[in-house]
Structure 1
Amino acid sequence: MTDLIRQAKRVDPQLGADLEAEVQTLSRRRPFGINFERHQPEAVELPKRSVRKGDKVRILPARGETKQGDVRLWRVRSVETVDGAKVGHLDLIGAKEPENRTVSADDLVVVAEFRDPIYPGLRSTGALHLSDGQPWHAVINGENFHALEMLLYTHQERIDCIYIDPPYNTGQDEWIYNDRHVDGEDLYRHSKWLAFMERRLILARELLKDTGIIIVAIGDDQHHRLRMLMDQVFHEQNFISDVVWQGGRKNDSRYISNGADYMLIYAKDESTLRRNGVRWREPRPGTAEIASAAARVWEESGHDQEKATVLMKEWIRSLPKNHPAKENNRFYEFEPDGRVFRKRDISWPGGGGPRYDVLHPVTGLPVLVPARGWVYSKPERMQEDIDAGLIMWGADHTEYINRKTYLGSDASDDSEDSGDNDPGIGMVPTSVFEQKRTSASKRMKSLFGDSRFPFPKDHTVLARWIGLVSPKDGVILDFFGGSGTTMEAVIRLNAQDSGSRQCILVTNNEVGAKETRAMRKAGLRRGDVEWEAKGVFEYVTKPRISTVVTGVKPDGSAYGDKVDANVEFFEMTYESVWRITQNREFKAIAPLLWLRAGAKGRRIDAVPQGWDVADTYGVLQDLDKSAVFLQAMADTPSTHLAFIVTDDDRRFQMICAELPDRVEPVRLYESYLKNFEINAGAQL
């Protein structure tokens, strides 16, 4: 086989390379786990990109034709203007016999295969700045695989949580592979879907921090396949849970109402979470009402501890039997500063706990050890709570001791008693929950006045899980952004808990299969204004996020449930490597530098004086201005990145040596170019 591949390379280098890649893929197949065809390389059409010499292109069908047209790829040998019209001279790629054509540039669409290096930029299509001091969220209109490659330059190992709701592949024309809608008649639809997902998941894993979490929503159709694929990409030891979302009953089902969706949750490295002591807890129902009542009775009592306790017990007794604030509520004792707490048992649940001496602070003698042993496995852990004032002592060592739990405390211990039954500590989320999905559809209809996006996710559900698994200042990514539910969830979650989470949402401007056929019949093509206006980014995502942030619906009417935030909308572009290396496309690259620096504060969109320093980063283009640049960097304590444009390694190193220690130097455009050349096709 190796000899045959060598012969093939001499006749056709590309064919030989493709054969070699396939053999390597087959040799890596596992005897256990999921196996599927990876022989379909993906490609994406770029209808807004002008045709250039050397491009790969497809010839579009005539306007009005509903068929998808010629799928073959051509190489643009040259481009010229004939009688005022631009035409391309083409050579068929991979043809046994030479074949060439001359075609109007209007009838060509540039194609990027996923083995080809791409050089992305971002073009702003609007910004909403409504909250000083809050982070900037970014919505990117672009092909998600290429967007993930771009984010490897800006956010590698910096994402705290990825939530995605990928196409479910039910055979209903709802997803696209190689710019073709895939339907139930395609015999390879499952392997295409797995290859499609694998390429993206591999890149997604590179974006996560070691403490990062990925949540993937999926339905019955591909759940079993996705679980095995996730085990291969993220490794089964990093599996956290398979959460079941029961969203409603289907009374028209013949056998069983399959109303559940799933969320597969994996860690980048579960052992890192464990070493860091990470525990996921959420407030019990009623906790907020208990806190409100405690604050009220504390004021009514005139800050009298005994009187406040009496009033708090009266309030608890007055609640209905099944009220969530009544169940297991013993928060009625008060500290002098007004904090409410409850006494808790300090013995090991079930018995057999450790026994060691704990000395009374007054008598200095060991207190009574509970019959079941101490709840803390080590004396050092007990001493931590003693030092923190969380132990309730008796009058002397002959009385048993208890421990305090303050309402809303996130404390936990290292025993079997993890606080599951304690509303002060919070509860562990369960792997099954019920919440109707119809409310999300009704809400979207109230926002737009129509049902322009099928089966949207509920932002309250996403907010709950994102809040559980990520820090308040975390970076959240969704690269199947759809209608924008994830971004709304993050924006509202920040408003609820005063967080500063940042959301990056990637979607595209795809049009559904039915609308695609109708618009082709009407003589429209991708790239036409009328076509693009109906794409999901322009028609759903952008107006939804704008409405949530501004409080103004697309029709101009008021939307009362608004939340102030900062959001910028971008379109991903494909730049010429030559123009980038000549520093002629800085405006397109500028948003990437800003994102890499954290997307905070002012963005440097141009450098007319040869250098500039913003809140978190600086750019030096004219090395003769390095002295004033270095001084500005030193005078701006929040800067942590310096982008230096130079081909001179010696001068680059000299400038790096003068930068403050807090600043990371990045060489342009070497770092940018290498990122995309190294990653191109590496995950196929």
Structure 2
Amino acid sequence: MSRLSDLLRAAKQLDPQLGEDLETEIRPLQERLPFGLNFERHAPEAVELPGHRIRKTSKVRVLPPRGSAEQGDQRLWTVDMIDGDTATITSPNGAGVETVRAAIEDLVLVAEFRDRIYPGLRPDATVQRGGNKPFHTVINGENFHVLEQLTFTHERSVDAIYIDPPYNSGARDWKYNNNYVADDDLYRHSKWLAFMERRLKLAKRLLKPEDSVLIVTIDEKEYLRLGLLLEQTFPEAEIQVVSSLINPAASARPGSFGRVDEYIYFVRMGAAAAGRVLLSREWVSAKGRTHTGAPRWDMLRRSGGGARRQDSPGGFYPIYVEPAGPRVAKVGAPLPPGVSVPDPIEGTVPVLPIRKDGTEGRWMWSKQEFERRLAQGRVRISGNEQRGFVVSILKDGEYAKIVDGEYTPSGRGPDGSLRFEKENSDLVRATPGTQWRISSHDATQYGSRLLRDSFLPGREFPFPKSLYAVEDTLRFFVHDKTDAVILDFFSGSGTTAHAVMRLNKQDGGHRQCISVTNNEVSADEQTRLLRQGLRPGDPEWEELGICDHITKPRIQAAITGLTPEGKPITGDYKFVDEFPMADGLEENAAFFTLTYESKWLVGVDRAFAAIAPMLWLRAGATGSRIDSIEGGWAFAESYGILRDLDDSAAFVEAIRGREGIRMAYIVTDDEGRYQQVADEIHGIETVRLYEDYLRNCEMTGDF
């Protein structure tokens, strides 16, 4: 509250009475006990970056000797000087500073999350089978820093984020500050919350505030804390949680009930809503409002609260039915108070809203609304004189499905009501409830086994999601957004990207997925490799990391239809879209590694190769990429770069004659000249390099 005290003091100097009034209102708030999440937000978080270049002033750690599985010296050192293969490093030591010489190969770069970084991307590979479709991208890097980088390329432009973060099980399943978090760590939950909050705040900057969704899966260990964290981070959003069956066999836990499900949080921003999509029958209950493959007819007589005649006297009127149809012959006026028998009309039977207990009820529609909707075909008469006649209607929601083309009338019945050919009752168009018990969501069958037996034979990945579960979850929010951008910054095995590619095949969409993962090696694998004398950064180590060993090969296999060994993938896709996995998918993908650049080199235009992929990403990740500029300017299919302002006239003329250009990057330190060029380019977003990039890095560094 110290900042608030300073502001109150300033307010008193400007207006003593206002300051006193504010202090009176705030004092009770200061005395209240905190409510909600309380955790240590300032716990330090840092990441070691093996393989990244060490420069003068870099922060580093000294690695333990090769062959040792010990953690080693955890102090942070600063590089003061580099001389060939060695460096002079210093670290505070009591009242003084300790200085030592160390081989550069024994040092590893360290980035603390409070430091500003200047990210770049190093292209690794591409796979192309999708023609002019945008590229899916996989970025190997610390996800917090990649999210910082994405604030330059994708701020407020992501339609959906799907993440499966670490569940904080205590089983060495994630690291904080370069150490695995165990179940006996007193700050285990605080570390997890701080870890998640930092990333969720950046993720919020990427989502479209007017219409987007964040989807987070979690189990019982952190779901309550996650719920509160989401409420605090996204106070303007609508949040709902779903329980989803993922393991029908149940995961046994001594003394406890076996775990069969997990939770899925849906954080809906702006107008985002779960759409009605085509689902199998197991999605919907056979109880209550069933889905029969055709519009649902409801009774005109009101039930529930406010269903008595006196609740709406205008709703008690006779509907005269001609039995030969049966059809509506006439609609009478509301009966006056005290009158319960309508005037007879020869050849018709009057029908009134009499409830099952014999008391007088009311119709749901007024006489005028009934007559108007009768003409629309929204009234159906069933029954006979002996059993009585029943008046059924199509409510507004059901009629909207007809107007939208979801159901097509096949004609009208004798009573004038709309008729429909019954659709396949095995498939229904619906929005499901909050308990999902779907056979295709079995994570063992369609996650672990699918990965190990089909796409990556012999390779193991712990607890991958069912491909079809992720596909179904996303479908509710992107089925009508065929150009959606989807982000997964805990991408693990790459299931989200795989699911997005399958969605594209089903409707010809051009959705693109950005997958972010690191190249971490599993805890058990690390111990084995360390004892062999290997370290992070060594090729033999890195080839077993998540990104290089699992994520990239899985996405390449999904597109090409071939395993990493070049053999056709065995098996068929199932459920919504069935075809051989060996057919592959007509998609494009590009793979990158996050780099850490020098602010000075970027500012003087000497780091273009590292910034170039980011410019391509910001322009939509479509078509070719400008990796170098021979002359004063260059164009790709979706963007252009002006590097020499002396060529600005030719650049502007060229850009006007090109279709599909969505962005223009202008390299200059002169704000006036930049604005002059930007004003001559209409309908195209312009970005000033490298000012906009550097300013974004510095703003994010303060975030």
Fold shared, TM-score > 0.5 on shorter chain: yes
**In structure 2, what residue type is equivalent to 1:672?**
Y
Which piece of structure 1 moves more, 637-646 or 426-435? 426-435
* Per-residue deviation, 1:611: 0.7
Task: State whether residues 547 and 554 of structure 1, in contact with CA within 8 Å, keep that contact through their aligned partners in structure 2.
Answer: yes
Cα deviations across residues 429-460 of structure 1 (Å, max 9, x unaligned)? 54332432211211122133325211111111
Residue 686 of structure 2, aligned match among 660, 665, 677: 665
Aligned partner of 1:234: which letter?
Answer: F
Shift in CA distance, 392/382, structure 1 to aligned 2, threshold 3 Å: farther
Are the aligned partners of 2:378 and 2:393 in contact in 1 as well (CA < 8 Å)? no
| Separation (CA, whole Å) in 2 of partners of 1:224 and 1:286 | 31
1:374 positional shift: 6.0
- Structure 2: which amino acid aligns with 1:527? G
Shift in Å, 1:239? 0.5
Q: Which residue of 1 aligns with 2:518?
A: 508
Distance in 1 between the 2:32 and 2:589 partners? 43
Distance 1:365 1:481, change over 3 A: closer
The residue aligned with 2:587 is 565
User: Deviation per CA, 1:7-45, whole angstroms, max 9, x where unpaired?
Assistant: xxxxxxxxxxxxxxxxxxxx9998221111123121111
Residue 462 of structure 1, aligned match among 449, 467, 470:
470
Q: 1: distance between equivalents of 2:392 and 2:259?
A: 47
Which residue in the other structure is 2:443 paired with? 437
8 Å Cα contact 2:162-2:214 kept in structure 1: yes
Q: Which residue of 1 aligns with 2:16?
A: none
Choose the corresponding residue for 1:536, options 546, 551, 558.
546
* Partner SS, residue 220 of structure 1: coil
Structure 2 partner of 1:34: 37
Do the aligned partners of residues 94 and 56 (structure 1) sit closer, same or farther apart at CA in structure 2, a change above 3 Å counting?
farther
Inter-CA distance 187–382: structure 2 relative to 1 (3 Å threshold): closer
Deviates further, 217-226 or 241-250:
241-250
| Counterpart residue type for residue 137 of structure 1 | H
Greater CA drift, 651-660 or 447-456: 447-456
Aligned to 1:314: none
Q: How does 1:312-323 map to 2 (within 5 A)?
A: none
- The 2-side partners of 1:367 and 1:217 are apart by 42
Instruction: Judge conservation of contact 2:378–2:418 (CA < 8 Å) in 1.
Output: no
Superposition TM-score, scaled by structure 1 size: 0.78
Q: CA deviation at 1:389?
A: 8.8
Q: Which residue of 2 aligns with 1:260?
A: 261
- The alpha carbon displacement at 1:112 in A equals 1.1
**Distance of 2:484 and 2:700 partners within structure 1:** 25
1:330 to 1:568, Cα distance in 2 relative to 1, 3 A: closer
Alpha carbons of structure 1 residues 183 and 596: separation in structure 2 relative to 1, 3 Å: same
Contact kept, 8 Å, 1:234 with 1:267, in 2: the verdict is: no
CA contact (8 A) 1:121 1:592 kept: yes
Q: Distance in 2 between matches of 1:78 and 1:115?
A: 24
Q: 1:401 aligns with which of 417, 429, 444?
A: 417
Q: Distance in 1 between matches of 2:96 and 2:411?
A: 90
Question: 2:119 corresponds to which residue?
Answer: 120
Cα 1:608–1:451, aligned 2, differ >3 Å: closer, same or farther? closer
SS in 2 for 1:588: helix
Paired-residue identity, %? 39
Deviation at 1:525, TM superposition (A): 1.1
| Cα distance change, pair 457–626 in 1 and its aligned pair in 2 (3 A) | same
Alignment of 1:155-170 (within 5 A): 155-170=154-169
Q: Taking structure 1 as reference, are residues 349 and 524 closer, same or farther at Cα in structure 2, changes over 3 Å only?
A: farther
Counterpart of 2:327 in structure 1 is none
> Within 2, Cα distance between the matches of 1:283 and 1:140?
33
Distance 1:286 1:59, change over 3 A: closer
Distance verdict in 2 for CA 1:95–1:585, change over 3 Å: farther
Q: Tell me how far 1:369 sits from its aligned partner.
A: 9.7
**Length-normalised TM-score, structure 2:** 0.76
CA distance 1:179–1:349, change in 2 (3 Å) = farther
For 1:282, the equivalent position in structure 2 comes to: 277
The verdict on how the C-alpha distance between 1:494 and 1:531 changes in structure 2, with shifts beyond 3 A counting, is: same
CA distance in 2, matches of 1:267, 1:244: 19
Shift in alpha-carbon separation, 1:390–1:422, aligned structure 2, 3 A: farther
SS at match of 2:448: helix
Q: Matched residue of 2:566: which SS?
A: coil
Going from structure 1 to structure 2, the CA distance change for 1:347 and 1:355 (only over 3 Å counts) comes to farther
Check 1:28–1:208 CA distance in 2 against 1; reply closer, same or farther (3 A cut): farther
- Counterpart code for 1:258: R
- What is the match of residue 230 of structure 1? 230
- Contact kept? 2:237, 2:269, Cα under 8 Å: no
Corresponding letter in the other structure for 2:59: K
The answer for the alignment partner of 1:646 in structure 2 is: 668
Pick aligned residue for 1:428 from 415, 425, 432:
432
Aligned twin of 1:655: 677
Tell whether the 8 Å contact from 2:116 to 2:698 is kept in structure 1 after alignment: yes
SS of equivalent residue, structure 1 residue 176: strand
Q: Distance in 2 between matches of 1:455 and 1:169?
A: 14
The Cα of 1:355 is off from its aligned counterpart by 1.9
Q: Deviations over 1:293-335 (max 9, x none)?
A: xxxxxxxxxxxxxxxxxxxxxxxxxxxxx9x9xx97977xxxx
What is the alpha-carbon distance in structure 2 between the residues aligned to residue 500 and residue 28 of structure 1?
55
Structure 1 SS opposite 2:651: helix
Q: Which SS does the other structure have where 2:258 is aligned? A: coil
Q: Output one character per residue of 1:151-201: Cα deviation in whole Å (capped at 9) or x when no partner.
A: 111111111111111111111111111111222232212111111111111
Given that residues 124 and 591 in structure 2 are in contact (C-alpha distance below 8 angstroms), is that contact kept between their aligned partners in structure 1?
yes
Aligned to 1:676: 697
Q: What are the equivalent positions in structure 2 for 1:206-245 lying under 5 Å apart?
A: 206-210=205-209, 211-235=211-235, 238-245=238-245
Could you tell me which residue of structure 2 aligns to residue 12 of structure 1? none
Contact 1:407 1:425 in 2 (8 A): no
Query: 1:661-680 CA distances to partner (integer Å, 9 max, x unpaired)?
Result: x1011000011001111111
Equivalent in the alignment of 2:632: 610
Alignment pair present for 1:594 and 2:616? yes
Q: Counterparts of 1:55-66 in structure 2 under 5 Å?
A: 55-66=58-69
Residues 218/384 of structure 1: CA separation in 2 closer, same or farther (3 Å cut): closer
Aligned to 2:494: 484
Closer/same/farther in 2, CA of residues 348 and 537 from structure 1, 3 Å limit: farther
Tell me if the contact between 2:274 and 2:431 (Cα under 8 Å) persists in the aligned partners.
no
Give the Cα separation in 2 of the matches to 1:547 and 1:368.
54
Cα distance in 2 between the residues matched to 1:28 and 1:200: 31
In structure 2, distance between residues paired with 1:48 and 1:381: 58
Q: 1:654 to 1:442 in 2, by over 3 A?
A: same
Aligned pairs (5 A) from 1:17-416: 31-81=34-84, 86-93=85-92, 96-210=95-209, 211-235=211-235, 238-250=238-250, 252-253=252-253, 254-269=255-270, 272-273=271-272, 278-285=273-280, 345=297, 350-351=302-303, 352-357=363-368, 375-376=394-395, 399=415, 401-402=417-418
The worse-fitting range, judged by mean Cα deviation, of 577-586 and 666-675 is 577-586
**Which residue identity lines up with residue 368 of structure 2 in the other structure?**
D
Query: Structure 1 residues 69 and 628 mapped into 2: Cα distance closer, same or farther (>3 Å)?
Result: same
Relative to 1, partners in 2 of residues 1:599 and 1:110: Cα closer, same or farther, differing over 3 Å?
Answer: same
Letter in 2 for 1:428: P
Given that 1:135 and 1:566 are in contact with CA atoms closer than 8 Å, whether structure 2 keeps it comes out as: yes
Are the structure 2 counterparts of residues 522 and 225 from structure 1 closer, same or farther at C-alpha, using a change threshold of 3 Å?
Answer: same
Letter in 2 for 1:267: R
Aligned residues: 586
- Decide which structure has the larger Cα Rg and report it: 2
Aligned with 2:536: secondary structure? coil
SS, match of residue 502 in structure 2: helix
Q: Secondary structure at the match of 1:200?
A: helix
Counterpart of 1:44, as a letter, is V
Superposed CA RMSD in Å reads 3.5
Q: Is 1:248–1:437's contact at 8 Å kept on the other side of the alignment? A: no
Q: Partners of 1:665 and 1:105 in 2: how far apart?
A: 42
Which runs of 5 or more structure 2 residues have no equivalent in the other structure? 7-29, 304-362, 382-389, 571-580
Is the CA contact (8 Å cut-off) linking 1:205 and 1:268 kept in structure 2? no
